């Protein structure tokens, strides 16, 4: 009878340990998968804003230097701007679901100030470039903060790069 209870205890401990490790690995998988989706969303938004900034910047430079861009370059810039515009609009709809509140605020400000009328084409290009650049800078800064990894085992969000003990351990190779 003692042997039966010992085997029952071992079976219970094994089952509990298996369930616990399954829970932890499933939670880690979901966290990692969500984080990867957010990285893709941030990268897409940053790429789209960069393409739009290139468009306005090159047209601005050409206007200041009083030169004409080649047709192939103009069409390439226009295509990149169109795709970027659609991606930024899509990101606006995702808003706080996929991005931090800082990015959501930056996108709202971007769309609010983007369509303001300007007196001349030169002012339009200058204003548009400034608005896109401001939004791009806000998104990049927010992504740096938002995409840092937190340890799932530390309830206070201990970050490995700020923990001196973990840094020293990593450097010593222990």
The DSSP symbol for 160 reads G
pLDDT category of residue 173 using cuts at 50, 70 and 90:
very low
Per residue in 87-116, pLDDT (tens digit) is 999 888 887 778 888 888 899 899 888 777
Q: Which residue has the tokens 């769309």?
A: 111
Q: How far apart are the C-alpha atoms of 6 and 12, rounded to whole Å? A: 10
Domain range for 78: 35-151
Percent of the chain with pLDDT over 90: 30
pLDDT of 171 strictly over 60: no
Counting the structural domains of the chain, the total is 1
- The token pair at 31 is 């966290």
pTM above 0.75, yes or no: no
Domain-embedded: residue 159: no
d(CA 126, CA 123): 5
């Amino acid at each position: 009878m003692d042997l039966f209870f010992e085997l029952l205890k071992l079976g219970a401990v094994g089952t509990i340990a298996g369930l616990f490790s399954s829970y932890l690995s499933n939670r880690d998988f979901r966290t990692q998968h969500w984080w990867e989706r957010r990285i893709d969303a941030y990268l897409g938004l940053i790429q789209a804003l960069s393409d739009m900034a290139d468009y306005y910047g090159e047209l601005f430079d050409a206007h200041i230097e009083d030169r004409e861009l080649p047709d192939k370059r103009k069409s390439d810039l226009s295509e990149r701007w169109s795709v970027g515009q659609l991606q930024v609009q899509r990101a606006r709809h995702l808003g706080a679901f996929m991005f931090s509140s800082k990015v959501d605020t930056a996108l709202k400000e971007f769309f609010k100030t983007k369509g303001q009328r300007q007196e001349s084409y030169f002012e339009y290009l200058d204003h548009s470039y400034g608005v896109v650049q401001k939004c791009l800078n806000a998104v990049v800064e927010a992504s740096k903060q938002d995409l840092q990894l937190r340890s799932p085992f530390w309830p206070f969000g201990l970050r490995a790069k700020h923990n001196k003990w973990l840094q020293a351990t990593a450097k010593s190779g222990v």
